[in-house]
Amino acid sequence: MTEHRPSMSKNDQLFARAQQTTPGGVNSPVRAFRSVGGTPRFITRAEGPYFWDADGKRYIDYIGSWGPAIVGHAHPQVIKAVQDAAANGLSFGAPTEGEIEIAEEICRLVPSIEQVRLVSSGTEATMSALRLARGATGRDKIVKFEGCYHGHADSLLVKAGSGLLTFGNPTSAGVPEDFVKHTLVLDYNNIPQLEDAFASMGDTIACVIVEPVAGNMNLIRATPEFLTRMRELCTEHGAVLIFDEVMCGFRVGLGGAQEMYGITPDLTALGKVIGGGLPVAAFGGRAELMQKMAPIGPVYQAGTLSGNPVAVAAGMTTLKLIQEPGFYERLGRAAERLVKGLTEAAKEADIPFCGDAVGGMFGFYFSHNIPSTYGQMMAGDKERFNRFFHGMLDEGVYFAPAMFEAGFVSAQHTDAVIDETIEAARRVFKRIG
């Protein structure tokens, strides 16, 4: 039994109780506030740009469920679509027309995708894309970049090995070294290193997987030259280029980062926005590659709830809403207004600070320059970030509870909401200056 002392907030009580039955009290690690310290907020409801915690406090939310809430929380049309779908039954284990519709929409919107397979999480999407790349090429080795997150499949939980071009070390207990010995981890935005890797082992590389706009080491853009060279090298050596757009897809623009950069990957992983808050993710690409998937090809992959009708209804409605005229212009303006306002407020308090925004995604850094590598990002002032985070939380603004995460705005983050955030930041910067 948890003790309910009157001095404990409802959030404190819930956190204490959660830890009795759930490791760390959370079902996904970053929610636990381990990086910033303190008690995670237990959310009771959300609407538009806001959510409310168990103590009834309102927050302006800049996580948006880590991306999906792009049209704002509890959008009436999304909720209605979910209710209508649910009324017809929750899951059938047999195909539905809704799955065709969302597949057609994804193929129409994302330039490189000719065929697509629906799954239930981004982890499944990248894991399956890797398997397909390996199955299609008959090769084992994969290349990833330090700081990019691709879900928690074994062969992707890897950090760089001790030397350049040595194979990686697991970043999680329970991942055998044997499972990651095929994963080469390179520096993001480092062209010579990528060229070296292909020069020495190009004909054994099955694929390169990359976040073309990285959102899991704060926000870091790939340089156009880096992605262009990556595309050339993959083509030259017959390796599959996988863009992991689980986060940046439908977030930096309607056609994702691949449209923004004008680069065509062979396979793309999607998630987050395409489920509109319910579990939908996908991987897709060239038809000739996708035809290698079961049941017509030799690469196996499956899912009891894949293409779930309720989840697909939420996703499809979200994909319609983001195609309203001017949607991404508004989203981009909101993110830019936020970053500009925060930067000016920090400057007034003489705090080294800068920020960047790509579409509806933003990052801010307690450093003088916008980072372009994992190392530069890690060198930011974490101590100050943590004080800023908690200061803003007190002010009713919820940023990601770790310096290593990108932030997100929704279509409901109006100028007034952004300006309220900036005013709060001005007060907090003064306190932590």
Nearest to 222 by CA among 210, 208, 236, 207: 210
Least Å distance, CB 211 to ligand PLP, is: 5
Site string for ligand PLP, 207-226 (x = CB under 6 A): ----x---xx----------
- State the Cα–Cα distance between residues 155 and 184, nearest whole angstrom: 10
- Residue 141, both tokens: 């080795």
Site string for ligand PLP, 102-141 (x = CB under 6 A): -------------------xxx--x---------------
Least Å distance, CB 428 to ligand PLP, is: 27
How many residues touch ligand PLP (CB under 6 A)?
Answer: 15
**Is 151 a binder of ligand PLP (CB under 6 A)?**
yes
**Is 149 a binder of ligand PLP (CB under 6 A)?**
yes
Within positions 272 to 331, which residues make up the interface with ligand PLP, using CB under 6 A? Answer: 281
Which residues belong to the active site?
Answer: 149, 244, 272
- State the Cα–Cα distance between residues 426 and 421, nearest whole angstrom: 9
Q: Of the two residues 61 and 211, which places its CB atom closer to ligand PLP in the complex?
A: 211
Residue with structure tokens 């509109």?
A: 276
Within positions 235 to 264, which residues make up the interface with ligand PLP, using CB under 6 A? Answer: 244, 246-247
Site string for ligand PLP, 334-373 (x = CB under 6 A): ----------------------------------------
Q: In this chain, which residue has its C-beta nearest to ligand PLP?
A: 122
- State the Cα–Cα distance between residues 101 and 50, nearest whole angstrom: 31
Residue 334 neighbours by CB under 8 Å, 6+ apart: 360, 409, 413, 414, 415, 418
Nearest to 366 by CA among 402, 318, 419: 402
Nearest to 107 by CA among 263, 272, 294, 274: 274
- Residue 218, both tokens: 């704060």
Q: Of the two residues 11 and 306, which places its CB atom closer to ligand PLP in the complex?
A: 306
Helix H or strand E encompassing 365 = strand 361-365
Q: Which residues bind ligand PLP (CB under 6 A)?
A: 121-123, 126, 149-151, 211, 215-216, 244, 246-247, 271, 281
